[in-house]
Each structure stands twice: as C-alpha cells, then as structure tokens.
C-alpha cells in the first residue's frame, strides 16, 4: 500500500489546512538571517500572500515548496525589492526592507545573488559580459579585474572559463547557461542567494550537478540560501529546513525529516505525487 492510499489520521478542514504555523524558537547555535512577519500582498482584489511568517537561519538553505500559482515567486520578489511591501515586515541581515533608502537598497542588492526561473542571461552579450555585468554596473571595476573575477566565478561553478568567455548564451547548453547564471549571482560574494527553480527543464545529471553546486556554495561561501523548487529530490538533498507555502501562508515548516513526517494533506499529496487528494479535488470543483 502506498502512502496516498493510507487513510489520513484525521479529516482536515479547509481552515486547518490554511492555518499558518508558528516559527519554532531559535536554537541556541543558530542566528536568524531572514525574518519575515505577517507579509501580505494583494493584486487588485486577489489576496496572494496572506500573512507569511518565516525565519531563515544564517548559513542555512531553506527550500520553499508550493504548487504552481501559490505565490512563491511573488514572495521572492519582496526579498529582491521588485515588489513593495504592502503590509508586514521583512528583515535581512539586520536591514528592514520596508524602510530602506535608495542608497541602502543599492548596498543590500550587492549582498544579494538571484538565480531566476529562466537563467535570464542577455542574449546579445558574451559570457564575460553577462557574468561581469554586476561589476560593470554597480562597482565600475577596471576591465582586467572584471575578467579575473569572472574567470574565478566561472571556475567556482565548474565551467571551463577560458573556453567560454567569448561565447553568447545561445552557444551554450541549457545546463551551462544555468551555471553561468549562478556565476553571475555569486560574483559579488553575496550573503543571501535566492534561487527560483534552478533545475527546471534540466536533465537529471545536470540537476544533480546544480544541487551539488548549491551545497558546495553553502560550504565555501557560508551563504544563506532560499530555494524555490518543485523537485522533491532536490529539496530533500539541499535543504536544512523546508517551508510549505499554501494559499498564501506557510502551513508547514521543519527539517527534512519533519517535513517527510508532516501530515498536512496537501503537502502529502505533493510529496507522493498522488492524483487524489485536496489539491486535485480543488481543481475539479
Ligand atoms: N504582477 C502581478 N500582477 C497580478 N497578479 C500577479 C502578479 N504576479 C503574480 N500574480 C498572481 O499571483 C499568483 C501567484 O503567482 P506566482 O508567480 O507567485 O506563483 P508561483 O508559486 O511562483 O507559481 P509557479 O510555481 O507556477 O512559478 C498567481 O495567481 C498570479 O496570477
Ligand atoms: Mg514561480
């Protein structure tokens, strides 16, 4: 008998399924790097984020799980500063993002690496120019220094830097483009990296490569990372903690083992990939 065929321990009401979980007390050996409380976002009449509470510990990787359309990318855009904070607080490394001046935003962005859902490289620029872009735009570094730092960043993501510096994105494979995107995100030694579906559309070997890279960067750079993924294998491989976003709230949070044992019915359906459960019933209604 598979998990999904087992009778649920109890019947969950809609209210129970949408109930936000409280963040646990901070363990003595941990420090909060990202702290979000009661974050709301509305697009016209649609209430997409309905009170997000989340802690991310310094140096850890937190994976955000959630079905398509649940608000994961919208949530990330608040950390990137592309959405203004309507209601609630977002604190990163002691900075209150709801109260930053333009200069403070500039400094914050230098501490931030972002890996988009699509690698989002500029098609008309070479690898050297794409990866070096933050240095040209933000730091106005000299050309020779930019070249050296680009090569170093490409080596960190295990790419043959010298061979590909002058290639354009359409001359690279999908997995290489992803790595170039990651190299661009880490070139300024960020303190926080946001990955929005870093492995979507890649073959399983490349997926493993990107997962290993995430782990490696955590070890070598000591960065804090937030990762959105639909890939459960990836989530269980790279996460220190997992948060499950459902209907605009974090309704489950825990370590990999705690999430594997969590009985939230929608999370269970997502983990088992079952076609029967509250997720698919909602679609039928
Ligand atoms: N700029 C916007 N204006 C209006 N509605 C938006 C905007 N951005 C997102 N939405 C809506 O917010 C909801 C959540 O979108 P979001 O992109 O955050 O989902 P997601 O969880 O990232 O999904 P996926 O897994 O498919 O990437 C969707 O219903 C979407 O239509
Ligand atoms: Mg998304």
Give the model confidence (pLDDT) of 3-13 as tens digits.
555 555 678 89
Atom index in ligand 1 nearest the CA of residue 67 equals 25
From 23-32, 47-56, 127-136, 205-214, the region with the lowest mean pLDDT: 205-214
Q: What is the pLDDT of residue 4?
A: 54
Are 277 and 266 in contact by the 8 Å Cβ rule? The answer is yes
190 token code pair: 């960020």
Q: What is the mean pLDDT of residues 158-175?
A: 92
How do beta strands 241-246 and 61-65 pair?
parallel
Q: Whose CA is nearest to atom 14 of ligand 1?
A: 71
Q: What is the mean pLDDT of residues 192-204?
A: 82
Q: What is the mean pLDDT of residues 66-90?
A: 92
Q: What is the pLDDT of residue 147?
A: 95
CATH second-level architecture of 30-111+193-285? 3-Layer(aba) Sandwich (3.40)
Q: What is the pLDDT of residue 209?
A: 79
Q: Whose CA is nearest to atom 4 of ligand 1?
A: 43
pLDDT band at 258 (very low <50, low <70, confident <90, very high): very high
Structural domain spans, the chain: 30-111+193-285, 118-189
Atom index in ligand 1 nearest the CA of residue 71 equals 18
Q: What is the mean pLDDT of residues 188-193?
A: 92
Q: What is the pLDDT of residue 284?
A: 41
pLDDT band at 213 (very low <50, low <70, confident <90, very high): confident
Least distant ligand from the CA of 65: 1
Query: What is the distance in A from the centroid of ligand 2 to the CA of 107?
Result: 26
Say if residue 111's pLDDT is above 80: yes
Q: Whose CA is nearest to atom 17 of ligand 1?
A: 73
154 token code pair: 């490409």
Mean pLDDT of the residues in the chain = 88
With a pLDDT cut of 90, the percent of the chain lying above it is 58
Atom index in ligand 1 nearest the CA of residue 74 equals 18
Say if residue 285's pLDDT is above 50: no
Q: What is the mean pLDDT of residues 114-127?
A: 83
Query: What is the distance in A from the centroid of ligand 1 to the CA of 246?
Result: 13
pLDDT band at 232 (very low <50, low <70, confident <90, very high): confident
**Does ligand 1 lie within 6 Å of residue 68's CB atom?**
yes
**Structure-model confidence comparison of residues 32 and 285, the more confident one:** 32
**Does ligand 1 lie within 6 Å of residue 71's CB atom?**
yes
Q: What is the pLDDT of residue 117?
A: 64
Q: Whose CA is nearest to atom 18 of ligand 1?
A: 71
**Structure-model confidence comparison of residues 175 and 195, the more confident one:** 195
pLDDT band at 142 (very low <50, low <70, confident <90, very high): confident
Query: What is the distance in A from the centroid of ligand 2 to the CA of 217?
Result: 23
């Amino acid at each position: 008998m598979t998990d999904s065929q087992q009778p649920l321990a109890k019947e969950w009401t809609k209210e129970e399924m949408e109930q936000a979980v409280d963040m646990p007390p901070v363990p003595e050996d941990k420090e909060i790097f990202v702290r979000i409380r009661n974050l709301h976002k509305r697009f016209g009449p649609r209430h997409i984020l309905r009170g997000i509470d989340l802690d991310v510990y310094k140096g850890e990787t937190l994976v955000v799980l959630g079905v398509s359309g649940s608000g994961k990318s919208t949530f990330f855009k608040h950390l990137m500063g592309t959405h203004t904070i309507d209601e609630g607080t977002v604190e990163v490394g002691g900075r209150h993002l709801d109260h930053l001046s333009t200069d403070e935003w500039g400094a914050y962005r230098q501490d931030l690496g972002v890996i988009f859902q699509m690698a989002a490289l500029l098609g008309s620029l070479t690898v050297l120019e794409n990866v070096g872009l933050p240095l040209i735009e933000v730091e106005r570094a000299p050309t020779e220094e930019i070249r050296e730092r680009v090569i170093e960043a490409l080596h960190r993501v295990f790419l043959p830097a010298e061979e590909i510096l002058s290639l354009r994105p359409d001359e690279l494979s999908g997995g290489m483009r992803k790595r170039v995107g990651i190299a661009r995100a880490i070139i300024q030694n960020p303190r926080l990296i946001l990955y929005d579906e870093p492995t979507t559309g890649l073959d399983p070997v490349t997926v493993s490569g990107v997962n290993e890279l995430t782990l490696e960067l955590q070890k070598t750079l000591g960065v804090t990372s937030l990762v959105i993924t639909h890939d459960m294998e990836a989530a269980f491989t790279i996460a220190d903690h997992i948060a499950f976003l459902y209907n605009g709230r974090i309704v489950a949070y825990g370590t990999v083992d705690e999430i594997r044992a969590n009985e939230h019915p929608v999370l269970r359906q997502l983990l088992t990939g079952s076609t029967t459960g509250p997720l698919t019933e909602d679609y039928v209604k």
